[in-house]
Chains A and B, each alone.
Chain A
Amino acid sequence: MAIDAGAKGKRYPAFSYEVGSEKIREYARAIGEESPLCDDREAARAAGLRDVMAPPMFAVVYSAGAMAPAILDPEVGINFALMVHGGQEFVWGEPVCAGDTIETVAECKDIYEKDGKGFYVFESVSTNQDGQEVVRGTWTNIVRGV
């Protein structure tokens, strides 16, 4: 069965996330982040940041609300029983700090078939309240036996 690439190019509504200091600390503890910039407000300010900084991979926290509707979109048609998260890329811009509001827009960038597997590639672009890009993510999901 040929893969349906009809959703390629589809964009999803922007998702807005307010970054809180305790959420940053909770995430930092879970991954074992040791930088004082992610925990201690004074250390963060002394280093020129507005407030405690989110660890780079906190990108998954504020992007999730934008990514879920894209990945779950029936028009994309991913078979979740056979899906694995195959690859992930992030390119970071401005640091994300407590007090920021991050808006993320997701797009279905590509759907293709290779070696009997379906590849579903999504891009997310996240910007802060000043319009600065904070991260660009490329999310690759692979479905066996399409």
Chain B
Amino acid sequence: MNAGDSIPELRVTPDRYLPHRYAGASGDFNPIHIDREFATQVGLPGNILHGLYGMALVARAATAAGGGDPRSLRRLAVQFRGMGVPEQEIAVTGTVAEADGERAVLETVAEQGGKQIIRNAVAELGPLRHN
């Protein structure tokens, strides 16, 4: 991994019921994520993805870029922008900002339908282990 390299893209299309499974797994049952009717009543296009689910996809993409060992992710800072929706592909892309063989800093974004849903995501990896 060298500074300036692109990291392998992660592409995921969350299915219709992903927000329900993520709600159960995370414990966040806010109705804007699992109840279409409620979500549209408060002005949303439909039930929306959990922002922290998107952050988990960024974490996966960063970890995969570093060789796949979840222990290599040391820090991840993100900004949430816009909102993600189920049944539409999300792409996590990024570049290596710094790398010295032992550790690396990645700058990534998550986009859906041409809009960034997570931006300024900075991941620090190290020590890099392959697993």
Chain A interface residues toward B at CB < 8 A = 23, 26-27, 29-38, 47, 53, 55-57, 60-61, 64, 84-92, 95, 138
- List, in ascending order, chain A residues with CB within 8 A of B70's CB: 33, 35, 37-38, 53, 55-56, 95
The 5 sampled A-B contact pairs (Cβ below 8 Å) are: A47-B131, A86-B79, A88-B55, A90-B75, A90-B77
Task: Encode contact with A along B65-98: 1 for CB under 8 Å, 0 otherwise.
Answer: 0001111011111111000000000000000000
- List, in ascending order, chain B residues with CB within 8 A of A26's CB: 24-25
A61 touches B55 (CB 8 A): no
Chain B interface residues toward A at CB < 8 A = 12, 18, 21-22, 24-28, 51-53, 55-57, 59-60, 63, 68-71, 73-80, 131
The secondary-structure label for the interface of chain B is: helix
Chain B's nearest CB lies how many Å from the CB of A90? 6
Number of A-B contacts (CB under 8 A): 96
B71 touches A64 (CB 8 A): no
Known contacts A33-B70, A57-B56; 4 additional CB pairs below 8 A are A26-B25, A35-B63, A55-B59, A60-B26
A56 touches B78 (CB 8 A): no
How far is it, in angstroms, between the C-alpha of A57 and the C-alpha of B77 when the chains are bound? 12
How far is it, in angstroms, between the C-alpha of A57 and the C-alpha of B52 when the chains are bound? 8
- List, in ascending order, chain B residues with CB within 8 A of A56's CB: 59, 63, 70, 73, 76
How far is it, in angstroms, between the C-alpha of A61 and the C-alpha of B26 when the chains are bound? 5
A64 touches B69 (CB 8 A): no
A31 touches B56 (CB 8 A): yes
* Known A-B contacts A33-B70, A64-B26, A64-B27; A90 and B76 likewise in contact (beta carbons under 8 Å): yes
B77 touches A87 (CB 8 A): yes
How far is it, in angstroms, between the C-alpha of A27 and the C-alpha of B75 when the chains are bound? 20
A37 touches B51 (CB 8 A): no
